[in-house]
A and B are shown apart, each in its own frame.
Chain A
Amino acid sequence: MTTAVETTGRTVKLEIQRQDNANGSTRWEKFEVPYRPGMNVISALMFIQQNPVTAEGQKTSPVTWDMNCLEEVCGACSMVINGRPRQSCSTLIDQLEQPIRLEPMRTFPVVRDLQVDRSRMFNALKKVKAWVPIDGSYDLGEGPRLPERKRQWAYELSKCMTCGVCMEACPNVSEKSSFIGPAPLSQVRLFNTHPTGAMNKDERLEAIMGDGGLANCGNSQNCVAACPKGIPLTTSIASLNRSTTVQMFRNFFGSDHMVD
């Protein structure tokens, strides 16, 4: 199938930080791609993939990046665009200053070019038990209902797509510290709000009171400024600060009740 490409004669200038493998050295390469109305960063990258030739006319390897849903829901295509971490699918060329500089999110291990390994985020979700346990050896029956107003509010927290933008923005997430970062913390607040999830809320609080947990937050509040989904990450963190304060006193002075 061929699509009629509207040619305008204009071009888009890009500078991409390349890296051939996980431990490879980095280099910058310049590209120039034909402009089309409504282009996003990914469509420019797709053109380069089809024509891996630099602006100087030299043949190079196609640029590697991650993508999946193309509608800012999956979180896979995050990269640093003109210095800011964001999704390459929802970032439109028209809104960017040129040359457009693309870099990988270096807070994560780089696999190749713009592709990074976000495993630490998924490991963190496992660590904090970011799920509602519903499996048992017998039928557990229906759980308590979530009040509608609470559901609407919790929906905002559930928009997190583990894209890693908050991790890249956070000055305390790096190989220098074991901080799990803002995204998994906010998930603790989400699942501790859920009526069935709340049945294990002490376990999640204990998890984020461990090493590399909640207390590593330094309140720079970059996460909430960077989050593409507008999740109130710093409110979640402050709220968890209160919950863990209570949990801390409960652990020491408290009764034999685990949860309430």
Chain B
Amino acid sequence: MSKNREFYWRRLHSLLGIIPVGLFLVFHLSLNFTATAGEESYNNATGMMELVPHWLLLIVEWVVIYIPILFHGLYGIFIAFTATHNVKRFGTFRNWMFAIQRFTGVFLVIFIAWHIFQTRIQKALGAEVEFSMMEEIVANPWMLAFYIVGILSATFHLSNGIWSFLVSWGITQSSKSQKIASYVTMVFFVLLSIVGVAAILAFV
């Protein structure tokens, strides 16, 4: 990386976490949530994606999902491993959030890599992405647990990431506004987690 470009890489990392990666997560979990209305409802919703021409879908996938998430994930690992955690000495709420943000981030790189292998790559190899695919995956209780932890990590990482985004771009400055942003983002975490976990449990 060229010299004195760190500021811009960090800001790009912060921005990409919200747009498009964060937006994609909300969209993805909402789409999965259709599974709570039954197999047919989920297959109809995911079937909508088949209406998009394949070449366009590939471009959108690479530009909106793969490239941003790859940058965010790899640069995020670099950020995570430059930290020296000290929650034992400083057990404040924000310091815990700092630590959990990094742990969930590293875990998500592993989880998402596995998730893409199990779904998208299998699709590319000829498997059909539909209700039964996920049904088979979460039939294994360990896999179900892995997915639930992955979903909760993702919803937490996004919610707390929105909080950090607001600070990093200088939107919330006062301690009061930062505190209110903490409450709002934590409510968002709970709501998005309910959507995500309800969706995965619908496949059980």
Which residues of A are at the interface with B, using a C-beta cutoff of 8 A?
A: 83-84, 169, 171-172, 174, 176-177, 209-222, 225-226, 232, 234-235, 237-245, 248
Contacts and interface: CB of A to CB of B under 8 A. Distances in A.
Interface in B79-138: 79, 81-86, 89-90, 92, 94-95, 97-99, 101
Contact of A241 (B4, B101, B168): B168
A212 B1 CA distance: 13
Contacts, number: 109
B7 A245 contact: no
Contacts of A219: 94, 97-98, 163-164, 167-168
A171 B83 contact: yes
Contacts of B171: 242
A177 B171 CA distance: 26
Nearest to A247: B7
A210 B6 contact: yes
A243 B81 CA distance: 28
Nearest to B170: A242
A5 to B, nearest CB: 35
Given A219-B167, A220-B94, A221-B94, A174 B173 contact: no
A215 B11 contact: yes
Contacts of B83: 171-172, 176, 218
A86 B170 CA distance: 29
B98 A214 contact: no
Nearest to A213: B7
A215 B6 contact: yes
Nearest to A208: B7
Contact of B6 (A84, A216, A225, A238): A216
Nearest to A83: B89
B170 A245 contact: yes
B95 A220 contact: yes
Contact of A232 (B8, B85, B86, B175): B175
B175 A171 contact: no
A212 B98 CA distance: 18
Contacts of A171: 83-86, 95, 98-99
A242 B173 CA distance: 8
Which of B7, B164, B167, B175 has the largest number of chain A CB atoms within 10 A? B7
